[in-house]
Structure 1
Amino acid sequence: MKVRRNLLKILILFILVGSIVNTKTLKSVGDYYFKDKNNAYFDMKKIDEKVDLETFVYLDYFYAKDKNNLYFYGQKVKGVSPNNFNFLTLLSNVPDNIIKSGNDFYLVYENDLNEKIYAKKMDFPIDRDTFESFSMRVYKDKNNFYYYDDTDDVKKGKTLIKFKNEADIKTLKFLKEKNGEKSNKYIKDEKNVYFVDEENLEIKKIENADYKTFQVIEYLYAKDKNNVYYQGKKLNNINPNYFKIVDNEIKYNNEFYKIDENMNLIKIERE
């Protein structure tokens, strides 16, 4: 279910179907949600549930609620209370995300076949007081790391699985890139530096990294006083003082290079 129409088009179409919608009382609630004196709407479509219009409000990230229900993309999220709602993380470009309602956590997702919204309660052992988003697909509580796995069949319910790691969870934090933005790949605790390998579901310790001088250059690239790293792996025979990323390309000693599978730099011949 992808929302592609802009608000102007929605308003024009609302006017065209004015016999159904009361355009005199119509007002925007937020992000494709509207209501008039009779009904509530999402993306020009009447919400099928009996909406309590007096308490109907927009929340965030295509969620809305009234005193009785929580709505996502205009659909009632069954089994989830609208009270104490907290949006945690958007997992992908489709409606897959994690929310908290009351003391419980849910994975909310859309079935690609019938475009219906479902909510799967997280009933595995997590510490509910400290469970939080750590990065785009990584979560943590005081005891473990968890990773969002979207490879399972939707009928089985998508799950979060534990990260393999040896890091000290309590002191772990993400490093910042050279431009000041938070890296979502390189993290450190009080003793070591790690690379978040989402593909293999691991937090990998970077062996022999110089902890005090370790810094993220950009995205997958990092360096310390001795070496340069790509995806957490050391590049061979590289002086970090002459290594740069320029317009997403590797520049070393004023020449441009690419990386081969053995972590060697291969010079790019330019015409």
Structure 2
Amino acid sequence: MFYRGRKLEDASAHSFSDLGHGYAKDAFNVYYKGKEIDDATAGTFTILKDGYAKDAFNAYYKGKEIDGASAGTFTILKDGYAKDAFNAYYKGRRIEGASGASFKVMSDGYAKDSFNTYYKGRETNF
């Protein structure tokens, strides 16, 4: 298997599938733009949308593990936002101080939780 002319050393041609949005997997490994995603579990790996994906243990944004994200409760919202039971995220980065339990996306890049308002993932005075 090749990605942009570069051989994927450990990829199995028999089980390889292109998942779209830069992601691919075989029976044992998951790839993003031709690079293996460390610790991703191929058997449970699912593409969500907007660059997000998850497996049974972790959530990912554009092939990078989202540090501390809870895969079991991880959901995509819109406009680059996502959340789990504890935190909110914008384009794969945890939004400092945001509460996942009360986090809601409004419109035009704005979001809010019980305590603050955010614009494109940053706290703002709205």
Structure 2, gaps ≥5 residues long: none
Aligned residue runs from structure 1 range 180-191, under 5 A: none
SS in 1 for 2:77: strand
Q: Give CA-to-partner distance per residue, 1:195-225, whole Å, 9 cap, x none.
A: xxxxxxxxxxxxxxxxxxxxxxxxxxxxxxx
**1:13 pairs with 2:8:** no
CA contact (8 A) 2:86 2:100 kept: no
Matched, 1:52 2:15: no
SS of 1:37's partner is: coil
Give, as a single letter, the amino acid of the residue that structure 1 aligns with 2:41: D
Q: What are the Cα deviations for residues 173-207 of structure 1, in whole angstroms up to 9, with x where unaligned?
A: xxxxxxxxxxxxxxxxxxxxxxxxxxxxxxxxxxx
Larger Rg: 1
Give the TM-score normalised by structure 1.
0.40
SS of residue paired to 1:24 = coil
Give runs of aligned pairs for residues 23-38 of structure 1, distance below 5 A. 23-38=13-28
Structure 1 residue 139 displacement after superposition: 2.4
**Larger relative CO (CA 8 A, sep 6+): 1 or 2?**
2
Counterpart selection for 1:98 from 66, 81, 85: 81
TM score, norm. by length of structure 2: 0.77
Read off the aligned partner of 1:21 and give its amino acid letter: A
- Structure 1 outlier segments of 4+, above 4 Å: 140-144
Separation of aligned partners in 2, 1:127 and 1:83: 13
Cα distance between partner residues in 1 of 2:46 and 2:88:
21
CA 1:143–1:39 in 2, change beyond 3 Å: closer, same or farther? closer
Structure 1 residue 29, shift from structure 2 partner? 2.6
**1:236-255 CA-partner distances (Å, limit 9, x unpaired):** xxxxxxxxxxxxxxxxxxxx
In structure 1, list runs of 5 or more residues that go unmatched: 1-10, 91-96, 110-118, 150-157, 164-271
Contact 1:107–1:122 (8 Å) recurs in 2? no
The one-letter amino acid paired with 1:63 is Y
Q: CA deviation at 1:78?
A: 0.7
Asked if 1:82 is matched to 2:45, the reply is no
How big is each residue's C-alpha offset from its partner over 1:9-53, in whole Å with a ceiling of 9 and x where there is no partner?
xx7637862654222210123322111123110111111x22222
Shift of 1:81: 1.0
Q: What is the alpha-carbon distance in structure 2 between the residues aligned to residue 133 and residue 70 of structure 1?
A: 19
Give distance in 1, aligned partners of 2:107 and 2:51.
21
Q: Which residue of 2 aligns with 1:123?
A: 97
Match of 2:123 among 131, 142, 160: 160
Q: Once superposed, what is the RMSD of the aligned Cα atoms?
A: 3.0
Q: Does 1:72 align with 2:61?
A: yes
